[in-house]
Structure 1
């Protein structure tokens, strides 16, 4: 059954469904190993991947074959034919929810904002799995740009000041603070305890412009998804210090319908932990690293 869909267990969460080619891709990268529990239609129970005849050996054999349509299946190449590796995440639903709540509460209380933000970024980045970059980490400290977090937290109260249109007036200010945060995060990403010496070279005015455009596009609801997609691609294009090109593969339509699902889930309250984890994993999976063009 070459078209069957597979699920696998990562920590305490279920991943999938994925095509068999995609599952073999995970096996080659090490995301799925012999001890990982997998399941597909027709199986009476979850089993170790290593106990399923031909699953692991078939994936490794396919990885040793030169890429090309003659071998069939799905290759590890982008639409332009260059080899690419997608990122993935390995966090539990409840840990993501708990840390997100602490993040929000910390900003509402203003003073703890630098500490809760740094703690969240350190945890989240450590959960991201980057091919050929083991043990991703974060070296930023709460006092590095503490004033940025404090001002960002204070801006969240703009709606209760009673000052007419203050929320709109502060959009460029909040965008600039967000730009400062992104530069700080990118500069403090590490691997194996060593800084990667990355930098974000997108200038502040362009970032503010993107943010203003995003707010304007949200008036139409639908247009916002395309602006988010374009803005994300612009941000990744402006990260320097990588040997590989960072690509965001999602389309505006994909962002749109997933955003609608998340909004509905949040309205219903109970599904929040699941839709939050689902959308976070999906966004990360849409980030691909490809060799830079010569």
Structure 2
């Protein structure tokens, strides 16, 4: 049963990525503007002959189907084409910046999952003033946009107190920790609040469930009830929302990297979009979709394996 579920989810993943690739390439294919102008320097208008030669060299005038197929087969072979503005291969541009983004996302994921699950569990178990305080804080964090949190963190922890640098990616592990702490906090804030609230709701639901009441009535120690019946059964939704949060970090990294001057693929996406560098934008957009869908597929499979109350047929 589980293998059929995995096979169906994998097939859906492939179809989703294929459709997304067509949409992404098609949208940028018909976008206004001429990418060939990126290769023409100087203030004078480019000559038609130069533009025509650039179009021929980079296949900018090819029909959509032919151009899309060349791009897709190249992507499958690890060749994402050439960047017109950076005069470099797209693959090299991305791999050169991928490490900073992965480090930032992993750092933010830790700041989301560990405090988020701890705060949500504490709020559900303690109740009272502590629960109200955690609810107010998490609700506020969810309401504040990421770029506003970025500005506040720069002003407070960098400019005012000087605890962390506000710009750059750092060198080495210690340097990255120092430079990426503020970006990771800004990236994680709203998702941490979301994970905390979902954890609180899941734990509270389990505390009120019939099997927990039955276990308590039988005299089972409270710590065993919490570990065996409450936290274990609440692990499914907690893992699910944590996976969605990690996938969402990839999409939100662009704003944070641009705000803090992190040399990652998110900042590269914004800069390339501003320059109409279609090869870079298409590749990064497709990578974002693939990672997001793949993470969500993995979360669905693991959630179904953790929580046997989830119907595999319904989930498919």
Given the two structures, how large is their TM-score scaled by the length of structure 2?
0.27
Given the two structures, how large is their TM-score scaled by the length of structure 1?
0.28
Higher helix fraction (1 or 2): 2
Which structure's CA Rg is the greater one? 2
Higher strand fraction (1 or 2): 1
